[in-house]
Amino acid sequence: MKELTCISPIDGAVIARRRSALPEVAIAKARAMREAQKAWAARPLDERIALVRKAVSLIGEQTERMTQELALQMGRPVRYGGEFRGLNERANYMCDIAADSLKPLVIEDSAMALRQITREPLGVVLVIAPWNYPYMTAINTIAPALVAGNVVLLKHAEQTLMVGEHLAEAFHQAGIPVDVFDNIFLDHSGSAELISGRHVNFVNFTGSVRGGASIEHAAAGTFINVATELGGKDPAYIRSDANLSAAVDGAMDGAMFNAGQCCCGIERIYVHERLYDAFVEKAVAWVNALRLGNPLDPETTIGPMANIRFARTVREHIAEAIAQGAIAHIPTMAADDGGTYVTPQILTNVTHAMKVMREETFGPVVGIMKVKNDEEAIALMNDSNFGLTASIWTSDSDAAKSIGARLETGTVFQNRCDYLDPALCWTGCKDTGRGAGLSVLGYMALTRPKSYYLKKKV
């Protein structure tokens, strides 16, 4: 039996050890949940909604626990207060729109016939959640899946083992049965066995491209629906008419928050030549003002990366870029230990021949390139294997809409970035994966259509 271990990025201490469930135990759990699903789906929608809202409220009463445990597990500074705001916004929005989203589509209801399309829950939903935003990414699927009448099995990342436990405690305390929602400790092979054996009906996976490919491989031939969100290399374009100060503040926060460990964080910036020099100067000052340090210190604004292997990737990308001619603008900070504590970095004189501008770095580094016009910016923004979000900084909304229509991405932002609006569909293209999270489309993904043609008179 494999042991799962969470090593704190703060000091390398082991803070959690959990035994991975044996495959037969995981399969038995999924079977029990399948049996419980019909009774759960038969409960009134308002009752399911109320229970989900109560669970979310209980987590809101424990934000100090959330904040402290996130700092210990993955290094986010306590000054940012955890993830309850986003979790609450997403879960409650999906509860708010549930009745309208799930109501039948009535084509005809006459004396002659009833013709309608209803939405049926899929059954057992497996959520394989990531460590970087472990509460918010999980709730994206957990809340609407339960509301829609599915049962949910949560398998959390090894780096954030305690998050799955916390969510399960709150949902059970709220009155949601263990066979309706539960957390399981499982290794990759155990997850694959659940999927390939058709013991679940839907899989939501957030993680690496390689991980997503393994999930799809496990599901091949099973006809199980798989939704994947596999990260990005999200660009920002600073047009010549942008508000410079707002663009610097927004884009740099999007690049550096959470030590750059955001799927929709900004990893490459294209600046119109008219603003380029001023943007770089202000961006360097912005990053130099960050305080790298222990995330348990309220004065820390950027903490360590979650794991030493993630930090190695960042350092490798930076070193390769510099060797190929890139210019690094941020001196090594005092807290940089060569390990998980990584100096946030700005690189210029970069090209798309460099990994730092093409591969997902997923850390506190951003490359900045000068462009002459919209056409050049669009070509560079689309020159990527990923397509999650893209941001355009401009005072011209018509231009933003026009440029956005030509971008290969899941979400287009104007004058903001790195945000998930629960009213909009969270989706991507290319190696970012496929699927539709949140919004009314989130309910469509977690249910199947069922048609009725009831002829009343013969």
Catalytic residues: 229, 263
DSSP designation for 301: S
Backbone angles phi, psi at 237, to 5 degrees: -120, 120
DSSP designation for 235: E
Tokens of residue 325, six digits: 């001619």
**Inter-residue contact 358 to 384 (CB < 8 Å):** yes
10 Å CB burial of residue 295 (0-12, 13-18, 19+) is buried
**Inter-residue contact 153 to 167 (CB < 8 Å):** no
DSSP designation for 292: B
Question: E-strand spans in 110-213?
Answer: 113-121, 124-128, 151-155, 181-184, 202-206
- Please report, for residues 76, 164, 433, the alpha-carbon distance to residue 295 in angstroms, rounded to integers and kept in the order given: 6, 21, 32
Q: How far apart are CA 52 and CA 174, in angstroms?
A: 8
10 Å CB burial of residue 245 (0-12, 13-18, 19+) is exposed
Beta pairing class for 345-348 and 327-328: antiparallel
Q: How far apart are CA 203 and CA 182, in angstroms?
A: 15
- Please report, for residues 147, 205, 284, the alpha-carbon distance to residue 85 in angstroms, rounded to integers and kept in the order given: 20, 22, 30
Residues 6+ apart with CB under 8 A from 69: 162, 163, 166
**Inter-residue contact 426 to 436 (CB < 8 Å):** yes
